[in-house]
Every structure is written in C-alpha cells, then in structure tokens.
Amino acid sequence: MTSKIKAVIWDIGGPLRNSSMQMQKGHEIGAKKANLYEYLKDFLEMKEERAKKTWKLFGLTQNIAKDGDLFNQDDYYRDYKAFMLALYILHLKRMPIDRILEVKKPVDMLSHLIENYFNALNGMKPRIFEAGIESKKAFKSEEALKYTRVSNGAIEAVEYIKEKNITQGIITSAPKGSTEHWISTYVESKTGEVFDRNYVIEGVVNKVDAFIDIAKKLGINKEKEEKLVYIADTASDIRAVGHAIKELGQIYILIMVKNGMGVESEWELARSEFGVFNEQNYIDAENAFEGIKRIL
C-alpha cells in the first residue's frame, strides 16, 4: 500500500500534541482567577488521569459551543465558556466526568444538562464565563506551557513516514500562527524537518473544504488509486472525512487515535451517518505509530 499513499496529513490536537496537562493547568488558573476553583477543584486536580478526562470533556463541549442559541458564534472564548459551564453543572449534579464519557451519546447527554440549567444559572454565569475567558488566556501562559508535550507514538510515526519518503502536512483548527513554533520546537528538533509547509493549513473552520482543497493541491490520481491519509481523534473529523469521500470518492484513509481528545463512543455513531467507511479506509489505533504501521 505504501506506493499508493501520496501524503499523510495530521490533526495537531490529540494525534500529535497532547495538551491535556497544559489545558488542565490553564483551567486551574482560570477557575482560581474567577473564584470558581472551590467548586471545580475535584475536576481540575493536576494529575494525568484526571487531565485526560477533562481534555476529552473539553472536546465534547466544543460541540456544545457550536449551538448558536446558547453561545455567540463570534465569541473567541465560547469553547472555554461552554467547558466551564459543563464542569459547574457536573459539580451541581455531583456527577463524575466518567458518567458522561461512558454513555453512547455523550454530546446529547451534555446538551440536555446544559439546556436544562442554562437559564437557571444566570446569577453564576458571569463568574463561570470569566473562568472560561481566563482559562483560555492562561492556556499559553509560561506556567501552562511547561506541561505541553508530544503525544505517545507521534515522533515514532513521523519518523516512520519520513523513512518512506511520504509527504507530511497538517490540517488543524488551531489558530493561524500557532503551529510553526510548536512543530519546530517539539517535533522537528528531534526528527529534522518533516512537514511540508505547502500542506500546513491552520485556522480551519470547515475541514471538509480543507480536505478537498489539499487533495486537489496534491494532485491525487484516483485512477492510480493514490490515497491521502488523515490522522485524527474526534467525531467531527470522521464526519468531515465522510463528506469529503462523498465529494471526491475513496481517496481518503482515516486513522483515529484513542490517546487523543476524542471520545470513542461517538466514533461509531459518526461513521454510521455515512455509507462510505470500511476496513480499507478506516482504522482506529491506540496511537499514531500503531495506526500508521498498519497501512505502511
């Protein structure tokens, strides 16, 4: 299969960058600045296992933040406000994060909780939203950046792909300008230059369009059965690739990593919305290295 893979494109958050502890520190700082920490301290303890759960919860609340009836879609801080709102509601319900992560439709459960409590929390919302704002600001603080790291298996995967002389790029919703320093400092300082900057796309709002554009830019030839691999971790990535397959055909292979921000219970539901995924174009693996070895 190696000769048919034209490029491997990465999502940063999850497959390549483990931001769980960095985000946990940012949430802790934000909650303390807003005088909310006393309510949320059980969730925001600075331990890796705890941080993994809040990281996955944050991934789920990003979907909640897309609800235009609840959050201003032009609000730069809406993802973090939604997260802090969800945490505070879990505190009121005395509900552990595990309860959300284990259900079949975690986003639906979260949406139901938030919709039921949203208006009732009017008196607390200024503090909750202040915590979200301060949390996002703190995410890139020197104190939080000490906790950033590369995901398990990512360096090995990057080097393995490099050995095969396959182009590597990035499609991410991370803000423009946030990628170069990180990949240079934390990845390419160990591997040498591996990412082709012609195929590094940041600040993506619509990943479907990005997948289609990058496939065309690479000049992928369907007749030669050339493929584009995307390494990702969330249900929204599955949906984006599903739409791209419907648009351009079976030129994509999707690798989903379990050690990222995504919640696995959502993956099957996302795949079932399309009739395009099969064992040839969909792989889930513990990490990127395990996944990429299965196709190269």
Direct distance between the N- and C-terminal alpha carbons of the chain, in angstroms, rounded to an integer: 6
CATH (domain of 244): 3.40.50.1000
The pLDDT of residue 178? 84
What are 24-47's pLDDT values in tens digits?
999 999 999 999 999 999 999 999
Is the same domain home to 206 and 283? Answer: yes
Short-list 36, 79, 39, 73, CA closest to 57: 79
**3: pLDDT strictly greater than 80:** no
Domain boundary among 145, 160, 195: 145
Per DSSP, the three-state class of 198 is strand
* Average pLDDT of the residues of the chain: 93
Predicted pLDDT at 40:
97
Same-domain pairing of 129 and 189:
no
Which residue, 92, 119, 145, sits at the end of a domain? 145
User: Phi and psi (nearest 5°) for 155?
Assistant: -60, -45
How confident is the model at residue 176, as a pLDDT? Answer: 84
Please check whether residue 84 is in contact with residue 132, taking contact to mean a CB–CB distance below 8 angstroms: yes
Q: What is the DSSP letter of 286?
A: S
Residues 89 and 173 in one domain: no
Residues 94 and 166 in one domain: no
Same domain, 127 and 187: no
Q: Which domain holds residue 242?
A: 2-18+148-293
Query: Is a pLDDT exceeding 60 seen at residue 193?
Result: yes
Task: State yes or no: pLDDT of 134 exceeds 60.
Answer: yes
What pLDDT, on a 0 to 100 scale, did the predictor assign at position 221? 87
- Residue 285 and residue 152 in one domain: yes
Q: Is the pLDDT of residue 135 over 70?
A: yes
Name the band, by pLDDT with cuts 50, 70 and 90, for residue 109. Answer: very high
Q: What percent of the chain has pLDDT over 70?
A: 99
Residue 177's pLDDT band (boundaries 50, 70, 90)? confident
Say if residue 2's pLDDT is above 60: no
List of long-range contacts for 39-43, beta carbons under 8 Å, 24+ apart: 39/88, 39/91, 40/84, 40/87, 40/88, 40/91, 40/131, 42/91, 43/87, 43/90, 43/91, 43/97
Q: What is the pLDDT of residue 1?
A: 47
Per-residue pLDDT for 113 more than 50? Answer: yes
Q: Which residues contact 160 (CB under 8 A, 6 or more apart)?
A: 289, 292, 293, 296
pLDDT digits (tens, 9 = 90+) for 207-216: 999 999 999 9
User: Is residue 157 located within the same domain as residue 286?
Assistant: yes
Give the total number of structural domains in the chain. 2
Of 118, 145, 172, the last residue of a domain is: 145
